[in-house]
Amino acid sequence: MTTKIKEFYIQDLFENELNKIWNDELFSELNVIERGYGVHNNVIENQLLFIGINPSFAKGSVNGNFFASINQKGQNNWGISYPYFKKFVEIAENTNLLWSDIDLLFFRETQQKYISKIEKTEIGKKFISRQLDISKEVILKAKPKVIVICNTKARDLLKDKKINNKIEFVFEFCEKLGTEKIIKPTELKGTPVFFTSMLTGQRALDKGSFRRLIWHINKVAMS
């Protein structure tokens, strides 16, 4: 019997909340506000969820909000393939799981050090916190079978208790699974989580570590 795939769209559920953040005068001085926000829109429930930190703003990018649906081949709405998703596709194909990718934060900025910079200000903390409120709701609704957090800063933000959020994420290492699992929130209790470095780019996992990650995801997905 074929399992019915359930999918939802972040735009349908959270566009109003995102607009409230970007229209809030409190954040008008932040230089990333005028660029708009970026969202990987479609999320498949109870499958493999990759979590990154935020969309980039490469040279030549234009300002504006965007919602991009990414298919299983790593292509956007217009059929354009992105090298960034190549490893995601490879992992999914070798684990018999469908995949989705979200960012914890939605502002468009290539330099990750910007996050550390604004974290030092009260306005910056609130800006980050309100975005995390949304992304955590997305993770809750996705109810992933397996989570791969492929960014060190994303890992730190999910574990950071200094930033007040509506939903607290707590992890602990599971000897049986050989990786971390979620303790809180209770709706996701027991969900296996892999904290890795980036899967693409100069700081990507080496080939051996990448193959072990695929093997490990297969093991926990079957447990």
Q: DSSP characters for 137-185?
A: HHHHHH--SEEEE--HHHHHHHH-SSS--SS--EEEEETTTTEEEEEES
Instruction: Give this prediction's pTM.
Output: 0.95
Whether the pLDDT of residue 212 is over 50: the answer is: yes
The predicted model gives 114-130 an average pLDDT of 94
Say yes or no to pLDDT of 191 above 80: yes
**Six-digit token string for 9:** 């769209």
Our CA dihedral for 194, 165, 129, 55, rounded to 10 degrees, sits at 30
Give the pLDDT confidence of 46-86 residue by residue, as tens digits.
999 999 999 999 888 999 999 999 999 999 877 778 888 99
- Bridge partners of 180, per DSSP, are 173, 193
Residue 3, helix vs strand vs coil: coil
Residue 126 reports pLDDT greater than 90: yes
Domains of the chain, start order: 7-222 (3.40.470)
pLDDT band for position 26 (50/70/90)?
very high
